[in-house]
A and B are shown apart, each in its own frame.
Chain A
Amino acid sequence: MSMYRFAKLIFKRWQHWFVVLLLISESPLLMAADDGLNHSLTPRLGERVTAYVSSIVSPDGSGLPNGSGSVTEGKLVYNAKCAACHGVDGKMQSNQIVGGIGSLASERPVVTVGSYWPYATTLFDYIARAMPYGQAKTLSANEVYATTAYVLFLNGIVSEQTRFDATTLLTVDMPNQDGFVELNEIDSNAESGVGKQ
């Protein structure tokens, strides 16, 4: 019997097992075990935390602290701590935060809090975490509510009588709230359409 015929015979007799072997070797289970991922041999050193204070404020209002602040109070904070960089009217060049509403589709779009930012919570979150520049995270919750109210007032988005708290902040309709297209993150190909031939 030639080697070829011998091999053929063996294959014929065992072909079902070859299929099974092939399936096993291609199975995600075995591959996962193979590359060492998802194994449970980690030291599990995370300490339980029960009282972590989140800094993240989302459009559903999660993360908003207690407290409140008005446009009138915000004007005092703004003029003392923000106007030097943003201008008393919020229109200082390169730090402009006021104006430009309706300009986004023009040849010279003016991108500001009023014309571009989608949610009032975005403004609250950013003032609380990063402003005033050089003294980040020093404003009280009341001051952040107040400054948020004043910046939106300067933009003509809320009235002079406005007072924000964790409930009223969520009622603001920002002009560009619907102006964003969220790229489909599930299909990573969707983002790489440029230059596709």
Chain B
Amino acid sequence: MSDQNDENEIPHAAGNGLMHRRSLLKASALGLAGGFLLPAKADWNSVPGAPQSAYGSPSKFADLQREQTIGHPFGPAAGSSSTPLQSLNGTITPNSLHFERHHAGIPDIDPAQHFLTLYGDLKNSLRFSYESLLAYPMESHKYFLECSGNSYRNTFPTAQDLTAGSLNGLISGAEWTGVPLHYLLDEAGLEKEASWIIAEGADASGHTRSIPLHRMLDGAMVALYQNGEPLRPAQGYPMRLFVPGCEGNISVKWLTALKVQKAPAYTREETSKYTDLLKDGSAEMFSLEMEVKSVITSPSGKMQLNRKGVYEISGMAWSGASTIRAVEVSADGGKTWAKASLQSDNQPNALTRFRIPWQWTGQPGVLQSRAIDHKGNVQPTRDVALKRYSPGSFYHYNGIQSWQVSSDGMVKNVYV
């Protein structure tokens, strides 16, 4: 940790209009002094609206869509969709907008025919039904979940003119509820040599990952609920593994087996994929933890500022290593930085919302955010982040996102 990040030395305001994070937001230059006109009479003022429904849906006026990426010749069954970060606020991703990534489509699993089997270096192999797991003590925690390929488009040689969600939307924040895995492992009885657990999904890809035992005993759960309701099929219904702070794909969805053994299995998904090629031709394996990162979601890519005046710059920060200690924001492409305010219920391995007021005078600028966690990790610039791996390697990219605001108010992804 350098002194530069010392609590006392980071200014609370910076160049190109960044204001003190506790500035009062005054009425903007447009002014509200003229009094309010009565709204034109609308139907909903006098005619009863729609009846209630069994399961709610958003307003048709709210533009809430996941961008879907079919980056594979096998089509959507091996694709992904990304959360529209630019349309959301706070730190909870609605279940219908949670990003999706699957290797062989979304299975439609009947929970009555689904079991979780624990076997391998255990005193007893045990099988749990969905119904039996519902009877176990559960915990609820807010965690982020990030695909290790999130923001991969920012590793491309030219900046893609896309929204915050299209670029960085393989990230979510949710309250996950489930059975702490140590209960089930205690019941089965770990043998002395147990060091790794191989988690396997019931989908057609049979997705399989080896996870160190210490991560499985400390914080991992068999998740059954997401934001209060049973998991959605795309998120692993009826059950998924959840390993906080780690790349999304080790939180194996449609979890059907946990094999305990001395060593990893070295499956395809931890060798051929989800390893990080270095410039010398070697590759890092089991890079499970997600690095410190942040992104400004408003103003962000493809937005249009249609007036001068005060805006709130707002975004999300997270770290797989720790809690977020600070987020700094720049409006001049990284020349000067000011501290943003963080929401008060900042938790480890969870999304944190940051906010800072900004006065846009109509001058061009570049908006950036830089997260720092409590272990002293600082989000790197794009250049530094890219130097870590071989060209073409795109997992675990956590470089600073830059949004250019041009004098006509258009906001655009740029590299600086």
Contacts and interface: CB of A to CB of B under 8 A. Distances in A.
Asked whether A and B interact, the reply is yes
B288 interface: yes
A197 B1 contact: yes
A47 interface: yes
Contacts of B214: 185-186
Interface in B251-300: 257, 259, 261, 263-268, 271-272, 275, 277-289, 291-292
B286 A185 contact: yes
Contact of A109 (B5, B268, B281, B375): B281
Interface string A3-41: 000000000000000000000000000000000111111
Contacts, number: 214
A118 to B, nearest CB: 5
B385 interface: yes
B215 interface: yes
Given A179-B281, A188-B289, A194 B377 contact: yes
B206 A179 contact: no
B125 interface: yes
Interface in A96-124: 104-109, 111, 113, 116-119, 121-123
Given A183-B286, A195-B380, A62 B132 contact: no
Interface residues of B, number: 85
Contacts of A121: 266
A58 B259 CA distance: 11
A139 interface: no
Contacts of B284: 180-181, 183
B34 interface: no
Given A58-B265, A118-B266, A105 B377 contact: no
A196 B378 contact: yes
Interface stretch (B160-168, B356-364, B387-395): B387-395
Interface residues of A, number: 65
Interface string B360-388: 00000000000001011111100011001
Given A42-B137, A44-B187, A109-B390, A136 B204 contact: yes
A56 B259 contact: yes
B187 A46 contact: yes
Interface of A: 36-50, 52, 54-60, 62, 85, 94-95, 104-109, 111, 113, 116-119, 121-123, 125-126, 129-130, 133-134, 136-137, 179-183, 185-186, 188-189, 191-192, 194-197
Interface of B: 1-2, 4-5, 72-74, 78, 103-104, 117-120, 124-129, 132-133, 135-137, 180, 182-184, 186-188, 198, 200, 204-206, 208, 212, 214-215, 257, 259, 261, 263-268, 271-272, 275, 277-289, 291-292, 319-321, 373, 375-380, 384-385, 388, 390-392, 398
11 contacts: A41-B137, A43-B132, A45-B128, A46-B188, A106-B281, A118-B271, A122-B266, A130-B205, A180-B271, A185-B214, A197-B378
Given A47-B128, A185-B288, 16 more contacts: A42-B136, A48-B125, A109-B390, A122-B271, A125-B265, A126-B267, A126-B272, A129-B206, A129-B208, A179-B282, A180-B283, A181-B283, A183-B288, A185-B215, A194-B398, A195-B379
